[in-house]
A and B are shown apart, each in its own frame.
Chain A
Amino acid sequence: MSNEGFFFQAFVYLVAAVLSVPIAQRLGLGSVLGYLLAGVIIGPFVLGFVGNEGEDVMHFAEFGVVMMLFLIGLELQPELLWRLRLPILGLGGLQVLLTTLFFTGISLFFGLPWQMALAIGMILSLSSTAIVLQTLNEKGLAKTDGGQSSFSVLLFQDIAVIPMLALMPLLALEGAATAQNQVILVVATEGTGLPAWQQALLVIGTVVGIILGGRFLIRPIFRFIADTRLREMFTAMALLLVIGIALAMQQVGLSPALGTFVAGVVLADNEYRHELESDIEPFKGLLLGLFFISVGASIDFNLLLEQPLLILGMVLGVAIAKFIILFALGRFFRLEISQNLLFAFALAQGGEFAFVLFSFATQNRVLPSDVSEPLVAVVALSMVITPLLMIINEKLVQPRFIAAEVEREADEIDDNENPVIVLGFGRFGQIVGRLLIANGCRPTLLEHDPSQIDLLRRFGWKVFYGDASRLDLLHAAGAEQARLLVVAIDQPEKTLQIVDLVHKHFPHLKILARAVDRRHAYELIRRGVEVVERETFSSALDMGVEALKLLGVRSYRAHRAGRIFKFHDVQALQEMAEARGDESMLLARSRQLARDLEQLLQSDNRELTQEVDRAWDISVLRKDA
């Protein structure tokens, strides 16, 4: 591809995305539908900017799905995955089995041979991981019961693709299956040409290698990279990791999506997890977008125009049949009704794996192209209507269950996301964090000094690596769900930056900030930070109290003197921070600061010469008597 051609292509795709996605978003249609429509518009049928190379682009963009599964893996601690084993195997397994049986039966009914019928049944049982998860995430439904069930089923389907691919050549009508699959998403097992037992050993070895590597190798490597403090190196390393795993899986004939998913799960409790997430996220987003666009562009509208009733009827039939089977399974697995509807609406479409499997089946001469082509169109259209179905569910169906929904909302407190984020886990943040943990609140901890992280990890602390002033990292650390943000870093300028950033992007977060000195405290107070603590104030005050005690002042009196001092000092701090708010000139400000200090010292003096504390003074009483 020539450079110019490449840039033109990139230009077309990007313009389409940039124009259609925000519009779709604004109209409440969600980004997925925006991408799909953009694809339709630039595709051969409407504007014709994208021709046959759209298919190559799709294969390339499928890597976005691989990245998505890696990110999903990162979010899934192994314990959580283990907890989901019943929905994954039970719900997922039954969904694939029943849907396959149903569509096989229908195909047989229409007189297709059983091999073709089974192939079609299997392919149509799959749903679209990319569209469903992206849409669920966008709507914030991923953590609901329905969302989790959808995820479980999708995960099972992604695994089920591998045996399906293996089975496909066996269904070939004329024997002699020689097709080579070159798509990146899934690779047939005959790729390596080794005997079966060697193949099996190779596969097991690779998976074990990924797990062991993830456990023991990744940490020192990331540590090494982090020490360079070059952000792009980290990004490069993250990409290298994902691509490397994808390649390795491809070499041994496994699904790269599955491989990166496993790697993600292995790295889920790694301290670099949030950093990895925020580095991969934009790539995943763009590639997925590209993927959706190419799906939109690949829809053959000529077929649709030739047989509109047949195609649309099939789209509708597929969606309704899948919906009914999903809903029944949801009932069987005791999903609450509104969650069950979400689950059934979300998964009632064909998936991107169907494109792969259809082309593979055609190559292997399982399906003739006059059968597979209309079906590809059906799957693509069913994918397009998924975001629409989700909107229907959200706007028309769910409101009927709103009362039940509210009640459920309350106990959806997510065990994955912590209500408190502590930025900076050095001398200051540690004390805050330890107190929180001692009282049953697990904060998400972020620290940018790798050696500090290693030390804390050795003592069993979960601390994540990352520069706290980055918006994407705050996202990854769960700032949307959190309630409090403790800024405990020791760089005053960066603290102010973070405060501004958080006020802008996460206005719901209450901020507790560490101030390095009085001036810094003024800045923070003026920014409306909820809690400002000067880092040395309380300990210095405590020491002053101890000094008073050693001088012979009774400890309760010294204690009260300390409290009174603190009260006045904090009050003065607030007043001064507000009073000087409108001053602009630097000179005047520093002069004012000097005056403030003088005032402060004087007022302290007055406090000392006067009786600090009038409590329990009986001299008046005695005069009275």
Chain B
Amino acid sequence: MSNPNQILILFAHPAWEKSRVNRRLIQAIRGLDAVTIHDLYEQYPDFHIHVKAEQELLLAHDIIVFHHPFYWYSSPAILKEWQDLVLEHGFAYGTGGTALHGKKFLSAITTGGGAQAYCRQGYNRFSVRELLVPFEQTAHLCGMEYLPPFVVQGTHQLQEHGELVKHTEDYRQIITALRDDQIDWEKLYQFKHINHGLDQILKPQEMTHHV
């Protein structure tokens, strides 16, 4: 097998101690080979982001994951600050800005509202994919391949032991498969969310081999 993909999880949650779902998700992928979990609020409590170090981290990875709760249809503040500072002209976009070309981009988000809220008739009026368009376009401008997002919805009502466990397992499977290139890419793009058709997207034999 070829070298595994290096995965960078840019995790942004301002109140880890109050988090239920995101904490579980992170715990599920902690310790995986070739997966770097980068906790932005822990690293930069005063928002003073070390741009050079962040860019080097990006260069050292093949798949970039923005992992965060979906606050006000976007990311928590530090991740926006991170984008503003790290995705520099000449590095990520514009003349000579090719550092991220060919990398893959994944949003991994949790929403308080359930799936039924994210549609024309729901109180959020737009689908998650629509609301994620700024991220999709950011990836596009940076020459990255935008993967269907990993979305956990209705976190307010999630039960500790049923669905939540399933989500954490899904997340681990997806990250692992991305790392090992065990994804049926053709199929993947038919789904709105990466976790909607896992059994079709993941290549089963190889997956069990590795996990």
Contact = CB atoms under 8 A, between A and B. Distances in A.
A618 B112 contact: yes
B185 interface: no
A617 B112 contact: no
Nearest to A619: B18
Interface residues of A, number: 17
Interface in A295-345: none
Given A559-B46, A621-B156, A625-B112, A615 B15 contact: yes
Contacts of B112: 618, 621, 625
B81 interface: no
Secondary structure type dominating chain A contacts? helix
B41 A555 contact: yes
Contact of A622 (B17, B42, B156): B156
B41 A617 contact: no
Interface residues of B, number: 13
Contacts of A559: 45-46
A618 B112 CA distance: 9
B28 to A, nearest CB: 19
Given A618-B112, A621-B112, A625-B112, A556 B14 contact: yes
Contacts of B157: 622, 625
Contact of B18 (A555, A558, A618, A625): A618
A555 B42 contact: yes
A554 interface: yes
A555 B42 CA distance: 5
Nearest to A558: B45
B16 interface: yes
B42 A554 contact: yes
Contact of B45 (A556, A616, A619, A621): A556
B156 A554 contact: no
Interface string B25-39: 000000000000000
A616 B15 contact: yes
A557 interface: yes
A617 B45 contact: no
A557 B15 contact: yes
Interface string A604-617: 00000000010111
A466 B180 CA distance: 71
Interface in A105-146: none
User: Closest 4 A-B residue pairs measured CB to CB?
Assistant: A559-B45, A625-B156, A616-B15, A556-B41
Contacts of A616: 14-15, 18
Interface string A561-573: 0000000000000
A492 B61 CA distance: 56
B46 to A, nearest CB: 6
B45 A555 contact: yes
